Amino acid sequence: MASSSYAPFSAVFSGFAATKPNPPPTCSAFLVPKRTSNSRNLKNGVSLKSWNKHVFQFHSRNLRVYARATEEKTVHDFTVKDISGKDVSLDKFKGKPLLIVNVASKCGLTSSNYTELSQLYDKYRNQGFEILAFPCNQFGGQEPESNPDIKRFVCTRFKAEFPIFDKVDVNGPSTAPIYQFLKSKSGGFLGDLIKWNFEKFLVDKNGNVVQRYPSTTSPLQIEGRVRATRGLSDIYARSYFIRSGNSVSASMGLGNRVAQINCLECGC
């Protein structure tokens, strides 16, 4: 192996390719995030240094954080705390599409987002759709209140009925595991930082991240994608004519299981 610290990454493994009488010097790959004080030693994001073992060592705590997060397979593998401090296993949401949002009470986006989130939830909750809201105070200190005060504010002012969870960090060394996972599944190798309040992650019924939306995307703008995630529809807003000629509103089935029958095929 060349002595230069800028040797290609594949050279790290040259000693493993074949048995030789005099194997090359052992070394390890230290993965170092760019924009660090060691960035001048990088080639393609990898710094090579002599060491006494063939071993990968994560030089950054952030890398260890995201490595642990990606060991989890889906959102359903996580347990979080609700707004009252009780553990909630997210596997209770198996089979349901989810919209996961970091929220704040004193943001310029608060009123519009909470209003539209409540509209989406009221419209599709009976079809299995869930919204999971995680308060966060990392953006301009716009969620400074205690959990009881946050719950009171949201439930009183916006009549929100979707689940609200414990206040969390979504960036930095104390990032909540659920957000480590979400970012690792929708960003680059190191995960993509949450930029502001009310970023949204759409998760399918199997717990897989489908899409990530910035704060500037309102809840109603992604309504179509929410429906498509599990075939949710607007059938309750329609009216149908039965054989007698009377009009029947599908809203009478709201909250119940509805069987749609093709009358041409069944001979009604």
Residues assigned a catalytic role: 107
What b/e readout covers 135-168, taking b as 16+ CB neighbours within 10 angstroms?
bbbbbeebbebebeebbebbeeebebebbbbbbb
E strand or H helix at 56: strand 56-58
What tokens does 75 get? 């959102």
* Number of helices followed by number of strands (H, E) in the chain: 7, 11
The residue ranges of DSSP E strands in 70-137, in sequence order, are: 79-81, 87-89, 98-103, 130-135
Tell which residue, 213, 205, 214, 209, has the closest CA to residue 185.
209
